[in-house]
Structures are given as structure tokens and as C-alpha cells.
Amino acid sequence: MYSFLYSTGNVPRLGISVLSDYADVIRLSSCEIKKTNKFNKELKFFLDAFFNTKRIAVCDMEYKLLFNSDKDSIYFDLLSAKDGVPDRLLLIRMDSVVYNKVIVPQSFFGQVVSKPCNCIRGPVVFFKKAPPEANNDGCILVKEFTEPSDLPTMNCAKAIITEIGGILSHAAIVSRELNIPCIVGVKKITKLVKEGDEVELNLETGEIKLLEHKN
């Protein structure tokens, strides 16, 4: 399909190509990521031609996960992350064999600020309001940071992970008061995991391991 489109002149040439080994992996040159309608259209062309699912993993050439995105927002996510990504990128379907075999399991690290136990695991949630059935045996709350309005949700969480914060952050103080595990300062964690993913927190090392990815 790709060869046919390319031979007929219907394939864009702005640093975007399909990896020869996998039809569900798109290779992209980060220097071509520009705020132009042309680049947006060409990226959309490739995604519509080869990706039939919405969730996309953005990785470097060694298949290290940089962040996750949706097909509808990938253009804007790439623009905002342009200065912090390598020269060559891979866009990988998150329901593909490549993602499940090569990308998962994945580990992330942060600062342990509350350690009532050595290890804990559970599903990730991003809920903003605590559901009625939520309880302390439930899910692991993942947020960019927490604030006083999050207290009802935090009280129903099994553990807390935030992108921003330190030992005196709101998440750290409240988690110690609630006696639940908390790891802070995990960069881009809200983009690296999605709701329903199974994660394991190592409160000895600050490691967060992605055990199972939900498509």
C-alpha cells in the first residue's frame, strides 16, 4: 500500500515514513515538526492511512516510550514536546504487537514521600471526583499535582502518583496524613500511562512499573 501511494506521488515527503519492518510504526523527523497546516495534513494522512486506532505511543529510535497521545491531539502534543524530543521519533499503535512486546513493561522513577509499605499495585485512575463505590482498596490516583479540592478523591485512592512536587508538596503531606503510598516528581506520568493500566509502586526505590497496558 505504501509503495503504491509513494509511486503515484500521493505520499508526503516531509520527514515522515513507515518503518519497513512494521506497518504500524511511523518514523518521523522531529526537525520537520512545524506549526504549519501542510505538516498537520501530511501527518494526518499517514495516521489515517496506517493507524485504525486512536491511541499512539511516541518513542525514540530505541523504542523507549516518551509519552502517549491520541490520534486527534498528536499534532499538538508533538509541537509542545518538540524541544524535548530526539531527532528521530517513532509513532506506534498502542494496540500493536510492537507496543505490547517491545514497549511494555516500562518503568518510571520518582521521589518516595510516603512509605507505609514496601510495594503496592493496582489500576490507574485519573478521576477528578471520587466515585461512590471508591474505597481505600481501589485504584492508584495519577495527577499532574494535587490541591485541596482533590481531598475526597485522595481519600479514596490506594496510592498517589504526581508529576510535580517534593517532600513538602500537597500530595506528600496529605498522603502521609492518610497513611497511603505516594511517589512525586514522575515526569510526564499522566502521558505515559492511561486509565486502567496496571502499575506497581516500589516504595524502596521509587520505581513505578507498568505491568499491563489497557487498550
Helix (H) or strand (E) run with residue 8 in it: none
Residue 23, all three cell numbers: 506497518
pLDDT of 6 > 60? The answer is: no
* pLDDT (0 to 100) of residue 208: 93
122-161, pLDDT tens digit by residue?
Answer: 999 887 655 555 444 578 999 999 999 899 889 889 999 9
What integer pLDDT is reported at residue 20 of this predicted model? 59
Asked if 33 and 78 count as a contact pair (C-beta separation under 8 A), the reply is: yes
For the chain, the domains span: 2-103, 106-212
Q: What is the pTM of this model?
A: 0.61
Q: Which residue has the cell 521519533?
A: 89
pLDDT category of residue 110 using cuts at 50, 70 and 90: very high
Confidence of residue 4 (pLDDT cuts 50, 70, 90): very low
Give residue-wise pLDDT tens across range 84-95: 888 889 998 888
What's the pLDDT tens digit per position in 67-79?
Answer: 888 888 888 989 8
* Rounded CA separation 215/196 (Å): 9
CB 26 within 8 A of CB 42: no
CA–CA gap between residue 163 and residue 208 (Å, rounded)? 12
CATH 3.50.30.10 for domain 106-212: yes
Lowest model confidence (mean pLDDT) among 53-67, 106-120, 169-183, 193-207:
53-67
Across 13-149, the runs of DSSP E, i.e. the strands, are: 16-18, 25-29, 55-59, 65-70, 88-93, 106-109, 111-114, 119-125, 140-143
Model confidence over 38-70: pLDDT tens digits?
888 888 888 887 787 778 889 888 888 888 888
